[in-house]
Amino acid sequence: EVQLVESGGGLVQPGGSLRLSCEASGFTYSGSWMSWVRQAPGKGLEWVANIKEDGSDKNYVDSVKGRFTISRDNAKNSVYLQMNSLRAEDTAVYYCARDHWANSQMFDYWGQGTLVTVSS
Amino acid sequence: DIQMTQSPSSLSASVGDRVTITCRASQSITTFINWYQQTPGKAPKLLIHAASNLQTGVPSRFSGSGSGTDFTLTISSLQAEDFASYYCQQSYNNPKTFGQGTRVEIK
């Protein structure tokens, strides 16, 4: 059974930092690109960042460039999102998802999400 | 960035109805579009990939069509469990972008 389990969310003050983790099981994690996708309360989905299988390629949405860093540890089947200089507009549920390519790209496996609230 | 515009933003329908949701891309994305379903409090679920390919395990009442800039998700006969929000997503290039969503509500 495929599982993606996020952790690390919580309440943080503006300007603060938080590190999200996502542990994967049930599929070939080391052979998969991975992404973080977020959803602000009552809003739509926004792709945040992704990372190549070996960590050698990373991409970010403009709004988080220079503040967020995606990384992975294939030995631990885990992907991380280090979030610095947090802003109120970063408040969202953060999902990790497998960023899969099979003739085209798709997010085929998703975690349950972890809530990040940026507020004083 | 490629903008994805869904319509309508919401709709009311009854069980058994045929429902159509459209998504328009700001530039041609050939068939690089996916569709997701999301129920409240849950993660999105992949329904359709590459415009018209049904994801494994998804009921055949769901179908997708289109190419270029205009795409459609159709539910042929709406079931109770289909009341949810639906999102399109372009996979043509980075940043991958989603439509704003369509909420399907019970009439």
Among chain A residues, the shortest Cα distance to B41 is held by: A112
Task: Answer yes or no: do A106 and B97 touch at CB < 8 A.
Answer: no
Which residues of chain B are within 8 Å of residue A95 when distances are taken between CB atoms? 43-44
- Residue A7 has a pLDDT of 98
Q: Percent of chain A having pLDDT more than 90?
A: 96
Average pLDDT over residues A38-61: 97
Which region, left, alpha or beta, applies to residue A76 given φ > 0 means left and ψ of -120 to 50 means alpha? alpha
CA A30-A79-B86 angle, to 5 degrees, is: 100
Return the structure tokens found at B25: 């891309």
pLDDT of residue B76: 97
User: Is residue A54 a contact partner of residue A31, using CB atoms and an 8 Å limit?
Assistant: no
Which of A46, A59, A103 is opposite residue B94, by nearest beta carbon?
A: A59
Summarised one tens digit per residue, pLDDT across range A13-36 is: 999 999 999 999 999 999 999 999
Residues in chain B predicted with pLDDT less than 50, given as ranges, are none
Q: Residue A108: what pLDDT?
A: 97
Task: Say whether pLDDT at A76 is over 90.
Answer: yes
Tens-place pLDDT, residues A85-100: 999 999 999 999 999 9
| A interface test, pick of B96, B100, B102 with most A CB neighbours within 10 Å | B96
Q: Which of B4, B36, B37 minimizes the C-alpha distance to B23?
A: B4
In this prediction, residues A44-70 reach a mean pLDDT of: 97
| Residue B97 confidence (pLDDT) | 98
A44 touches chain B (CB under 8 A): yes
Shortest Cα–Cα distance, B95 to chain A (Å): 6
The sign of the torsion formed by the CA atoms of B58, B97, A90, B103 equals negative
pLDDT at A103 over 90: no
Going by their DSSP bridges, the two strands B102-106 and B10-13 should be labelled as parallel
The pLDDT value given to residue A99: 93
pLDDT value at residue B71: 98
Scanning every residue of chain A, which has its alpha carbon at the shortest distance from the alpha carbon of B88?
A45
Evaluated on CA atoms A92, B34, A82, A59, the torsion sign reads negative
